[in-house]
Amino acid sequence: MLIFLALIAVPLIEIALFIQVGGLIGLFPTLATVLLTAVVGTWLLRKQGGGALRELQHILQTGGDPRGPLAHGALILVAGILLLTPGFFTDALGFSLLVPFIRDIVIRELAKRVTVAATHRAGAEAGRGPGMRPDVIDGQYEVETPPEDGPRGNSGWTQPRE
């Protein structure tokens, strides 16, 4: 129900803001402002998204807990979607999510409402470093070809000998 209300309320808020801002500064400055916020937002998104990705890679390489960088990365992605959506309200929400301490507040509030359950694979060996897969078995094989004089069936997968 909350999502339905948001899908109704956000466009109405955007329309009202477009009318108000357009009345104050005019049509072309309003459109230029929307385009400028999309460009600046995209630049900030790339900069912060790259930083979040580097932090996540570092955490994964050192074997740390990736929940924080993953949450920040997800909120940066949401910020990017909001910034690319035309409108002043969505731009304000998107720019606010690009501020790290606001993301921390959002993550803290979401963590109160979300339960995370960790699972462990059965038979996983202790002491394996990151990138090691306990479900891979090293082995050898050799290809055997059927004898040429043996019987061949008529399965449709073989061609008759001539």
Residue 123: what pLDDT? Answer: 47
Residue 105: what pLDDT? Answer: 94
Residue 120: what pLDDT? Answer: 56
Please, what is the Cα angle at 112 between 78 and 48, to 5 degrees?
30
Question: Residue 100 and residue 76: Cα distance in Å, rounded?
Answer: 9
Does the pTM of the predicted model rise above 0.85?
no
Over its length of 162 residues, how does the chain's per-residue pLDDT go in tens digits?
888 998 999 999 999 999 999 999 999 999 999 899 889 888 888 888 888 888 888 888 888 888 888 899 999 999 988 988 889 999 999 999 999 999 999 999 988 888 767 665 554 444 455 555 667 777 787 887 766 665 556 666 666 665
CB atoms within 10 A of CB 98: 20
Question: Residue 149 and residue 143: Cα distance in Å, rounded?
Answer: 18
Question: Residue 135 and residue 125: Cα distance in Å, rounded?
Answer: 10
Residue with tokens 């948001």: 6
Residue with tokens 């050799």: 142
Question: Residue 25 and residue 20: Cα distance in Å, rounded?
Answer: 9
Residue 159 contacts residue 93 (beta carbons within 8 Å): no
In Å, what is the CA distance from 68 to each residue of 12, 60, 71, 115? 34, 12, 5, 15
Residue 127: what pLDDT? Answer: 45
Residue 68 contacts residue 103 (beta carbons within 8 Å): no
Residue spans per domain, the chain = 35-114
Residue 65: what pLDDT? Answer: 84
